[in-house]
Amino acid sequence: MGSFTRDNTELAVDIAGAGRQHRAEAGGMTIALERWNAGLDTAEWFAGLPDGACQEPHWGYCVKGRATMRYTDGEVEVIAAGDAYYIRPGHNAHLDEDTEFVEFTRADEAPGINTVAI
């Protein structure tokens, strides 16, 4: 398949009050179509990972909203609607607004089907 929508991808994550993520795999990449609610913070979700942060790189595009990425080295960056981005390993996200992403992760580094990628 060459194109992906919420209708032709698997609902991989659906967390009441937090958001949803649809996923597909193609070309060695995991493609995630994500909608997250304002106020979500991944620090609690990733607390059990090394340094309490997601350890995978992500590439993507922010379709709507705004998110603040906090890195374990203290760096902070904001991703907003219209931004293409690279999120390096060692991050947590805070969703400042309701946000939609199209995100790509190498399939061999992508999280398990029941975990979150942001």
Query: Is the per-residue pLDDT at 9 higher than 90?
Result: no
Domains in the chain, number: 1
- The DSSP code for 112 is P
Q: Is residue 116, in this structure, part of any structural domain at all?
A: no
Asked if 98 contacts 36 with a C-beta cutoff of 8 angstroms, the reply is yes
Q: Is residue 79, in this structure, part of any structural domain at all?
A: yes
Q: Quick check: helix, strand or coil at residue 73?
A: coil
Q: Is residue 20, in this structure, part of any structural domain at all?
A: yes
On average, the pLDDT of the chain sits at: 90
Query: Is the per-residue pLDDT at 112 higher than 50?
Result: no
Residues spanned by the domain of 69 = 10-106
Asked if 88 contacts 59 with a C-beta cutoff of 8 angstroms, the reply is no
What pTM was estimated for this model as a whole?
Answer: 0.86
Q: Is residue 53, in this structure, part of any structural domain at all?
A: yes
Q: Quick: pLDDT tens for 55-99.
A: 999 999 999 999 999 999 999 999 999 999 999 999 999 999 999
- Exposure letters 19-34 (e unless 16+ CB within 10 A, then b): bbbbbbeeeebbbbbb
pLDDT at 110: 53
Question: Phi and psi at residue 105, in whole multiples of 5°?
Answer: -135, 140
Asked if 30 contacts 105 with a C-beta cutoff of 8 angstroms, the reply is yes
Nearest alpha-carbon partner for 24 in 115, 103, 118: 103
By residue count, the chain amounts to 118
Which CATH number do you get for residue 93?
A: 2.60.120.10
Structure tokens at 53: 């942060």
Residue 18 banded pLDDT, cuts 50, 70, 90: very high
